[in-house]
Structure formats: structure tokens, C-alpha cells
């Protein structure tokens, strides 16, 4: 993980208008908006930088947005740490702390009720299948000698198909992609809310053994590193 971009990213963590803050803002804005967050870029910046809530939002949206900022920091702090059941549950618990999902007892635990991805006919894992399928996925990923965007795309599809949590699987899955790309010094692709239909359709048209649709989607996204190259090269 000793690469120039990552070193600059970590060094600028405590500075406003820095590479770290720009990546954090860009990632959180897009990932949260895909899930229905009503925060604009300006309102998100006020919340993250000054703890000011501007505009009309549900309490869950405010809390989840605040939580997602802490989860982003956790992802950076744990770069190089293996993805495990406890790691996944900790991210999920942190993301939904003090939300409705938390009050219902679904935060930080795997799903107990079958769920689905709206707008798709993807057959998701049943609750009793979650742990063994995750074991298989994590063992496969840890065995890869050279992680590529293609293998990350496969991981993302398989994770989303398991859909291990009652809610929040898309956000957790995208946090994992961020972690994997940073750890392996790869182009940094951020799923954008303004083409979320293409993102969802690429997941829906992929299947076990053929991950080309989701890989093509991720591979065609702009590289954050290239867009902000002047700030770290």
C-alpha cells in the first residue's frame, strides 16, 4: 500500500479543502444519494466540516450521513486489514448507529428476514445462506495474488447477491470497493448517483461466472486519481 496517492491522502486528512476531504465528500455524496439521501453537495460539506444541518431531511438521513463520515474514516484507518465477519458487522453497526434500523435490532447483524433488490429479479441469498456464502467469498478474495478491477467487480457482485444485511448492503459494498482499490493501488472508481440506473442494470445483468456487465460499468467510470492528479503527483 506504499504508493504516492495514498501517502498524500493520509497526510492531508486533517486539512480542509484537501485531497482527503475531496475524496470523502465525493464518495459519500454519490454513495448516499444512490440510497435516497437528500443532502446536496453544499449541505453535505456543511455537515461534514461544520456540523451544521441545512435543509429538510429525515432524522435517519441526517444520522446515516453523519455515520457514513465516520465509516469512511474507519475504512481509511483499517487499510491493509482483512475483510472478516467482524469487520463487516462493525462497518454496518457504525453506519446505522442511532437510526431506525438500529432501534429495530438490525444494525450490525446479518439479515434474519429474506430481502430483495427493488427493480431487479436477482435471487438473493436466504438468511441461513449468508455466513457460508460470505466465508466462500472472503476465502476466495484472500487467495488472490494480484487484485484487479475485474476481481473487485466480481467481489462486489457476489457480495451484493448475498445481500448479507437487512438494509445498507449497497453502501457497505461500495465502502469495500473503496478499500480494495486503495489497498491495491488501482484506479479509483466512484459509483456515481447520476448513472445509478446503469449501475443497477449492470448488477442485474451480471451472473455467477459472468461478471462482465458490472466490470464494464466500473471500468468505464472516471478515475478519481486522474481527475485530481495535480494534487498528489
Binding residues: 167-174
Beta strands in the chain (DSSP E): none
For residue 161, give the H/E element and its range: helix 149-162
Contacts 24+ apart (CB under 8 A), 214-217: 214/153, 214/156, 214/157, 215/149, 215/150, 215/153, 215/154
- Report the distance separating Cα 54 and Cα 144, nearest Å: 45
Task: Count CB-CB contacts under 10 A for residue 12.
Answer: 18
Q: How many CA atoms lie within 13 A of 213 on its CB side?
A: 15
Annotated binding site for ATP: 167-174
The single residue of 25, 92, 156, 163 carrying the catalytic annotation is 163
Is 102 annotated as catalytic? no
71 φ/ψ angles, rounded to the nearest 5 degrees: -65, -40
Which residues have a catalytic role annotated? 163
Amino acid at each position: 500500500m506504499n504508493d504516492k496517492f495514498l501517502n498524500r491522502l493520509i497526510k492531508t486528512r486533517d486539512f480542509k479543502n484537501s485531497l482527503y476531504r475531496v475524496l470523502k465528500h465525493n464518495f459519500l455524496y454519490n454513495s448516499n444519494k444512490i440510497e435516497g439521501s437528500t443532502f446536496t453537495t453544499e449541505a453535505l460539506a456543511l455537515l461534514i466540516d461544520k456540523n451544521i444541518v441545512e435543509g429538510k431531511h429525515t432524522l435517519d438521513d441526517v444520522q446515516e450521513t453523519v455515520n457514513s463520515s465516520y465509516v469512511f474514516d474507519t475504512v481509511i484507518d483499517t487499510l491493509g486489514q482483512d475483510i472478516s465477519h467482524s469487520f463487516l458487522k462493525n462497518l454496518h453497526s457504525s453506519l446505522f448507529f442511532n437510526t431506525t434500523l438500529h432501534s429495530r435490532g438490525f444494525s450490525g447483524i446479518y439479515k434474519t428476514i429474506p430481502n430483495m433488490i427493488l427493480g431487479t429479479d436477482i435471487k438473493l441469498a436466504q438468511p441461513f445462506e449468508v455466513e457460508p456464502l460470505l466465508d466462500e467469498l472472503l476465502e476466495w478474495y484472500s487467495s488472490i495474488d494480484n487484485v484487479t478491477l475485474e476481481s473487485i467487480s466480481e467481489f462486489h457482485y457476489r457480495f451484493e447477491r448475498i445481500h448479507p444485511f437487512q438494509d445498507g448492503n449497497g453502501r457497505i459494498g461500495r465502502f469495500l470497493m473503496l478499500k480494495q482499490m486503495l489497498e491495491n493501488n488501482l484506479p479509483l472508481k466512484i459509483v456515481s448517483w447520476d448513472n445509478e440506473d446503469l449501475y443497477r442494470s449492470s448488477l442485474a445483468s451480471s451472473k455467477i461466472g459472468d461478471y462482465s456487465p458490472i466490470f464494464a460499468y466500473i471500468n468505464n467510470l472516471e478515475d478519481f486519481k486522474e481527475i485530481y492528479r495535480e494534487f498528489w503527483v
